[in-house]
Amino acid sequence: MRRIYAILVLAVALTGGAAVGVARAAEEKALVAGGCFWCVEADFEGVKGVKSVVSGYSGGKVQNPSYKQVSAGGTGHYEAAEITFDNSVISYHDLIALFLRSVDVTDAGGQFCDRGDSYRTAIFARGAAQKAAAEQAVAEAQAALGQEIVTPVLKAGKFWPAEEYHQDYYRSSDIVLTRAGPKQKKNAYKFYRKACGRDERVKALWGQMAFRP
């Protein structure tokens, strides 16, 4: 009886372990830079299969950089976003394809009204499989667009989450002081995005292929 019970316990443990393994295998992280990280969060948090998006910094050598350091330049970091997603719902390739159609992939000097190295676009691939999928997505997007895509596929390094102030900025009701007076963050974000011309430029570049969250 004890032997049977032990076998049953082992079978349950193994089954549970396998289930956990499958669940973990379905969760993947994509790391991209698309100019203002508030906008990347807003674009991708509503995509089916995406679990979360975190704003932060990557691509530089300074440890745990601040927004002030990165925006001032010289750290080598990009404003980046780490997207956690279920790859049984949306593949890494398809997520990158959407990303490319959400930015100006022909601009090597920044994005829209935001200029400088920290606002450049990039795809930070983790491992050979992500690198191959990203390069394929870029090649397909370039063929569809008919223009050279300057968004590079780079080897992913350390991702540093940005200050809490920047997380979920686009939907926060916290009050901030703007040039137009006090506003909720979500309203300040809407004003910024429209004034920066992000959506207009993406639509002009990609037409019907533009990604609309």
Tokens of 53: 């998006």
Q: Is 39 a catalytic residue?
A: no
Which one from 36, 39, 113, 196 is the annotated catalytic residue? 36
Place of tokens 């940005």: 162
Exposed / middle / buried, residue 1 (Cβ in 10 Å: 0-12, 13-18, 19+): exposed
Compute the half-sphere exposure of residue 144: CA atoms within 13 Å on the CB side of its CA: 17
If we measure between CA atoms, which residue out of 159, 156, 77 comes closest to residue 120? 77
Answer yes or no: are the C-beta atoms of 28 and 87 closer than 8 Å: yes
Distance CA 146, CA 150 (A): 13
Distance CA 73, CA 5 (A): 64
Catalytic residues: 36
